[in-house]
A and B are shown apart, each in its own frame.
Chain A
């Protein structure tokens, strides 16, 4: 790799395919004149080169290792339409605020185009085996991060997309014009099924639309899955009767094998649940299988993004969460946790807007400040409902609606169950805060500035809301985000 050799593409076929090692640029993986086709998959990588390797060669190497190349020349390329199958790195830009004179070593953005025929129709597993496969361990790059992808309409049309989608979910639930409200049952581990169902009942009766299993609630010694499902559905039905409103509990069907997951999902269906849940850690193929099951069985499919921060949080290596959002919309989930801006978990407001737009919009134009590098037509794939969860409370309602809009599930776990007057009171406080804020927004009030007063006014007739504001009104999580935009100065939202 590092020995000084010619850079130019070797055009003489005899030389090009004689045994030995060539630079990736010479092999044809760097093509600055290439104009991507409408049907190409395009990936944008952030590359930190090894010392002494130039950016274009690095980009070519990434293109090569994520498509047809191996470390040495192989003559068998000549049996194929190899020029078509070769991925083409066609543009390299330095990343702003990196390199000499900054605190960060030099990084480059590399644009790489892949022909559609490199990928199996409708398979996230196949797409990712190339794009985030071997290449991430490749020695020529010190670090590598997949920042964004442009998925061509032709490829999107081979995917089912969300099993239910925002529109049909709302129609089924008969809930329009406001965010949905949820809460995760706490403590997340240790409750018996009977005690667990109590939390579900109180939360739903108090005004929440959904309660939720946490990501690591599967089938442990303190609570086996069948018991949990039975008690939760008792709670859901009791709460529906108490309010005359449709209620649900995300029954987590995550398990060791697909057979186990299908068994749990079938049991949830037999009990009349409207929604089941899976974790991101089950893997792309299992997620796609469950999305197809959910479509066949009229079930809403909730995805908890457990595990994503292991590869999405640090800026220099891994992949950006917006790519996960794209893949999950293709794979076919209906809900995905996508950040809160104001809560306890990582989330820069501009980045989160990019995630939410990716999940919900029919078309997302290029917007560098939101981290969206490409125009993306979603080809009528249904909309995914983002879920905001983690350290949020009623006192932030105006900020949550300002940042996240109304097509979102707001999940207040501690902010419901930790209410001083109990779970039902906590749920009611959240529901009243939400409805008061939507009413005010629709009346044309400036909720960003008047929000605290709107909440105080509602608290005058709603004691549970007053108690919630007294308990948590001042709580905020002000830390600097690690995953921020490269193109504008940003600040983490202050609550």
Chain B
């Protein structure tokens, strides 16, 4: 039988697959570029599911049309922040979308301690839940 999870953050398009290698990342980048989407690279050490704004590793690369250049930027981000989460997001500027169309993780900390769930019992049987990453108990930059 399967056991509990919690050892791997499952945000993003491909978290249930083995980590993507550079050739696979490059193919996904090509898919986005082929649709005219701009690639952005973001990193964080606070993977809370409601943490929308990861730090931008520069602006989205609106004018870079070459997957090799983008993969080089991804590598640069990963070597600068080897123990952070790094994700690649593809932004679509088409009317009616104007939103990310792809988002997948390309780097993870070596150890992912997961999240704690704290319950505050309220009126009746209602419970307020607070989810927090065990890693974020430490200050930013010292978490992983």
Question: Which residue of A is nearest B14, CB measured?
Answer: A435
Tell me which residues across on chain A come within 8 A of B14, comparing CB atoms: 435, 438-439
Does A243 lie within 8 Å of B9, measured CB to CB? yes
Does B99 lie within 8 Å of A422, measured CB to CB? no
**Residue interface mask A234-245, B partner, CB < 8 A = 1:** 100110111111
Q: Given contacts A241-B117, A421-B1, A439-B14, is CB(A444)–CB(B27) below 8 Å?
A: yes
| Residue of A176, A383, A461 with most partner-chain B CB within 10 A | A176
- Residue contacts A-B, CB under 8 angstroms, 8 given: A177-B90, A241-B115, A244-B48, A439-B13, A439-B14, A439-B28, A458-B17, A464-B2
Question: Which residue of B is nearest A205, CB measured?
Answer: B5
Q: Given contacts A177-B103, A246-B49, is CB(A241)–CB(B131) below 8 Å?
A: yes
**Nearest Cβ on chain A to B89's Cβ, whole angstroms:** 8
Known: A241-B114, A458-B17. 19 other contacts (CB 8 A): A171-B99, A207-B16, A230-B126, A230-B127, A241-B116, A243-B6, A244-B48, A244-B114, A245-B9, A271-B126, A272-B129, A422-B1, A422-B2, A431-B16, A435-B14, A438-B13, A438-B14, A439-B28, A442-B31
Tell me which residues across on chain A come within 8 A of B15, comparing CB atoms: 435
Does B11 lie within 8 Å of A177, measured CB to CB? no
Cα distance A205–B31 in the bound complex, in angstroms: 30
Does B126 lie within 8 Å of A242, measured CB to CB? no
Cα distance A170–B97 in the bound complex, in angstroms: 11
A424 in the interface, Cβ–Cβ < 8 Å?
Answer: yes
B52 in the interface, Cβ–Cβ < 8 Å?
Answer: yes
Does A432 lie within 8 Å of B17, measured CB to CB? yes
Q: Contact partner of A177 among B47, B102, B127, CB < 8 A?
A: B102
Tell me which residues across on chain B come within 8 A of A439, comparing CB atoms: 13-14, 17, 20, 24, 28
Question: Which residue of A is nearest B50, CB measured?
Answer: A246
Interface size class of A (residues with CB under 8 A): 35 or more
Cα distance A439–B24 in the bound complex, in angstroms: 8
Question: Which residue of B is nearest A434, CB measured?
Answer: B16
Q: Contact partner of B5 among A242, A271, A422, CB < 8 A?
A: A242
Does A245 lie within 8 Å of B49, measured CB to CB? yes
B73 in the interface, Cβ–Cβ < 8 Å?
Answer: no
A162 in the interface, Cβ–Cβ < 8 Å?
Answer: no
**Nearest Cβ on chain B to A467's Cβ, whole angstroms:** 11
Q: Given contacts A242-B4, A244-B47, is CB(A167)–CB(B27) below 8 Å?
A: no
Q: Is the interface of B mostly helix, strand, loop or mixed?
A: loop
Question: Which residue of A is nearest B52, CB measured?
Answer: A174
Tell me which residues across on chain B come within 8 A of A240, comparing CB atoms: 49, 115, 131
A178 in the interface, Cβ–Cβ < 8 Å?
Answer: yes
Cα distance A281–B94 in the bound complex, in angstroms: 36
B98 in the interface, Cβ–Cβ < 8 Å?
Answer: yes
Question: Which residue of B is nearest A463, CB measured?
Answer: B2
A2 in the interface, Cβ–Cβ < 8 Å?
Answer: no
Q: Given contacts A244-B47, A245-B11, is CB(A443)–CB(B31) below 8 Å?
A: yes
Interface positions of A (Cβ within 8 A of B): 167, 170-171, 174, 176-178, 205-207, 230, 233-234, 237-238, 240-246, 270-272, 362, 380, 383, 421-422, 424-425, 428, 431-432, 435-436, 438-439, 442-444, 458, 461, 464
Does A428 lie within 8 Å of B17, measured CB to CB? no
- Chain A to chain B: the 5 pairs with minimum beta-carbon distance, closest first: A177-B102, A442-B31, A241-B117, A237-B129, A244-B9
Tell me which residues across on chain A come within 8 A of B1, comparing CB atoms: 421-422, 425
Does B4 lie within 8 Å of A435, measured CB to CB? no
Tell me which residues across on chain B come within 8 A of A206, comparing CB atoms: 2
Tell me which residues across on chain B come within 8 A of A438, comparing CB atoms: 13-14
Q: Given contacts A174-B11, A435-B13, is CB(A242)–CB(B114) below 8 Å?
A: yes
**Nearest Cβ on chain A to B29's Cβ, whole angstroms:** 10
Cα distance A458–B14 in the bound complex, in angstroms: 13
Does A244 lie within 8 Å of B10, measured CB to CB? yes
Cα distance A178–B103 in the bound complex, in angstroms: 10
Q: Contact partner of B17 among A271, A425, A436, CB < 8 A?
A: A436
Q: Contact partner of B11 among A244, A272, A436, CB < 8 A?
A: A244
Tell me which residues across on chain B come within 8 A of A233, comparing CB atoms: 127, 129
Could you tell me which residues of chain B, from 97 to 112, have a CB within 8 Å of some CB in chain A?
97-104
Question: Which residue of B is nearest A177, CB measured?
Answer: B102
Question: Which residue of A is nearest B18, CB measured?
Answer: A461
Question: Which residue of B is nearest A246, CB measured?
Answer: B49
